């Protein structure tokens, strides 16, 4: 038996292949949108992918479960509570899948969502591992506030938090200490708030170190779990619905995207300019938002741009453009690309901040802090700053006065490049808009 972990660093996502070497059969758990790595793995071991298990309909990524079914005939398994609209077999408490010397046992573990399941792997008569989806992470547990307005069954966060309390204690902590834990996410995901950098652990280790498994009352647990959860990106509910239905085949969907600059751009559509901020500031197209290519591009694209909102996608060369189209598809946003094209320089310039003047004369500027609320709470930086997190900036733009030049900052410069471009688009020359960028490090 082999367990292979696949990691998508951009979305902090883990998926798994469970290989029965004696039978040459593979079961996948929570696959990503691009199915090629799983097909390559099967080919490497001359094995057949017989099935795919979805622990829940994911909010932060698009799953490749339906494409695997359509391409190679793999059976899809999920909880009956999910209300799946694709061909599937239900997999709930009491259900067991057997192949080779492996048994996979379903556990209904509501908490992150009512339809969440975990999968216990038994090999040669002993429990060896549990695949915990978004129920139990390393150092944390799944957030319970994503299904109040999404999914087949909606539920209040307090109710789901209460379910989580019992799922962790009555379903997972009854397993042996030696059982390995394989979660669907690692540090950096927005599906939890305090995840470890480790990619696996054991029941025994988490019993000791994971805050959510310590002795406390239901009331204490619910209060702690709901406190300081990360923001919810705009695309999360969209992906839940898309995964419940099943996404179009990836290459089919990518094949209809126009890869060329249109003769005339629609000026009512935003341009997502992914070039480095120093290139963007030297010249870009009107209506551009500078979401730079980077480790969290997908998350910020889906936090700033809403579902069903068309956009142009711009990059500095063809290789990067193809990479970014693929990243966009990981959250199901490729269908909203009006056109994708290479672009070098435009007529719109970004004003350059005179830092030497700003530092001693901060009262002459409106300072806009676009960090997340928890960051501002943990480390206030400018006493007079207006706090509007980046993910809410477009909706709250009218809260920003423009009687002074505006200086936008985050914690390192990546988000402020996007934020300052959004503000600049909104005010259209009514006042100067500056990006504090990496100069923020002088104040931290």
Report the CATH number at residue 308: 3.40.250.10
The position carrying tokens 């077999």 is 89
Strand partners, 435: 408
Whether 115 is in a domain gets the answer yes
Domain termination residue (choose one: 288, 308, 342): 342
- Boundary (domain end) residue, out of 221, 239, 257: 239
In b/e form, how buried is each residue of 107-140, taking b as 16+ CB within 10 angstroms?
bbbbbbbbbbbbbbbbbeeebbbbbbbbbbbbbb
At residue 72, φ and ψ (nearest 5 deg) are -125, 5
- On whether the CB atoms of residues 13 and 36 are closer than 8 A, the answer is no
Residue 201 within any structural domain of the chain: yes
Do 109 and 233 sit in the same domain of this protein?
Answer: yes
Residue 221 and residue 279 share a domain: no
With respect to residue 44, please indicate whether it lies within any of the assigned structural domains: yes
User: Is there a single domain that holds both residue 177 and residue 261?
Assistant: no
pLDDT confidence of residue 380: 93
pLDDT of residue 26: 98
Among 100, 126, 90, smallest CA distance to 18 is for 100
Residue 191, token pair as written in the block: 């599906």
Report the distance separating Cα 438 and Cα 252, nearest Å: 40
In a domain, 80, yes or no: yes
> What is the rounded distance in angstroms from the CA atom of residue 147 to the CA atom of residue 307?
17
Residues 162 and 276 in one domain: no
Instruction: Residue 73: give the domain boundaries.
Output: 2-239
pLDDT for 154? 58
One domain for residues 252 and 217: no
Question: Do 428 and 395 reside in the same domain of the chain?
Answer: yes
Same domain, 52 and 186: yes
Choose among 92, 196, 72, 218: nearest CA to 140: 196
If asked whether residues 331 and 424 sit together in one domain, one would say: no
Q: Could you state, in chain order, the average pLDDT of each consecutive group of 10 residues for the chain (444 residues)?
A: 96 97 97 98 98 97 98 98 96 97 98 96 96 97 82 76 97 98 90 78 97 97 92 95 97 96 93 97 96 95 97 97 98 98 92 91 96 93 95 97 96 96 92 95 90
Kindly state whether residues 115 and 253 are assigned to the same domain: no
Are residues 295 and 219 both part of a single domain?
no
CB 404 within 8 A of CB 339: no
347 is a domain residue: no
Q: How many CB atoms lie within 10 A of CB 244?
A: 19
Q: Is 349 domain-assigned? A: no
Q: Are residues 219 and 81 in the same domain?
A: yes
Our count of domains for the chain comes to: 3
* DSSP assignment letter at 157: H
What pLDDT score was predicted for residue 429?
82
Domain-terminating residue out of 308, 342, 376: 342
**């453009």: which residue's tokens?**
321
Residues 366, 309 share a domain: no
Report the CATH number at residue 97: 3.60.15.10
């Amino acid at each position: 038996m082999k367990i292979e972990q696949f990691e998508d660093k951009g979305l902090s996502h883990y998926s798994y292949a469970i290989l029965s070497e004696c039978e040459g059969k593979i079961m996948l758990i929570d696959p990503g949108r691009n199915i090629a790595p799983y097909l390559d793995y099967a080919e490497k071991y001359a094995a057949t992918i017989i099935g795919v298990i979805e622990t829940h309909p994911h909010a932060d990524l698009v799953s490749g479960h339906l494409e695997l079914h359509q391409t190679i005939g793999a059976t899809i398994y999920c909880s009956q509570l999910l209300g799946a609209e694709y061909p599937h077999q239900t997999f709930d408490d009491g259900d067991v899948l057997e192949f080779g010397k492996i048994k996979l046992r379903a556990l209904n573990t509501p908490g992150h969502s009512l339809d969440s399941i975990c999968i216990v792997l038994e090999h040669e008569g002993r429990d060896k591992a549990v695949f915990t989806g978004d129920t139990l992470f390393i150092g944390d547990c799944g957030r319970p506030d994503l299904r109040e307005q999404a999914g087949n069954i909606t539920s209040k966060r307090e109710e789901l938090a209460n379910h989580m309390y019992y799922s962790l204690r009555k379903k997972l902590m009854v397993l042996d200490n030696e059982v390995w834990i394989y979660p669907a996410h690692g540090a950096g995901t927005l599906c939890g708030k305090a995840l470890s950098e480790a990619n696996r652990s054991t029941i025994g280790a988490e019993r000791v170190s994971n805050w959510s498994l310590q002795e406390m009352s239901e009331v204490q647990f619910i209060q702690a779990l709901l406190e300081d959860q990360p923001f919810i990106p705009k695309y999360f509910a969209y992906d839940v619905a898309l995964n419940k239905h099943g996404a179009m085949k990836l290459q089919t969907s990518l094949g209809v995207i126009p890869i060329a600059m249109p003769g005339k751009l629609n000026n009512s559509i935003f341009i997502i300019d992914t070039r480095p901020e120093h290139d963007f500031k030297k010249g870009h197209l009107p209506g551009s938002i500078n979401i730079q290519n980077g480790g969290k591009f997908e998350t910020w694209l889906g936090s700033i741009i809403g579902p069903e909102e068309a956009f142009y996608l711009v990059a500095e060369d063809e290789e990067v453009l193809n990479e970014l189209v693929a990243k966009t598809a990981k959250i199901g946003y490729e269908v909203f690309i009006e056109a994708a094209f290479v672009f070098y320089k435009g007529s719109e310039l970004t004003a350059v901040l005179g830092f030497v003047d700003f530092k001693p004369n901060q009262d002459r500027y409106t300072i806009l802090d676009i960090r997340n609320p928890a960051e501002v709470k943990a480390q206030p930086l400018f006493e007079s700053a207006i706090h509007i997190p980046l993910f809410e900036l477009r909706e709250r733009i009218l809260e920003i006065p423009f009687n002074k030049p505006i200086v936008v900052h985050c914690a390192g410069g990546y988000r402020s490049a996007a934020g300052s471009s959004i503000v600049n688009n909104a005010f259209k020359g009514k006042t100067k808009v500056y990006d504090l960028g990496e100069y923020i490090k002088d104040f931290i």
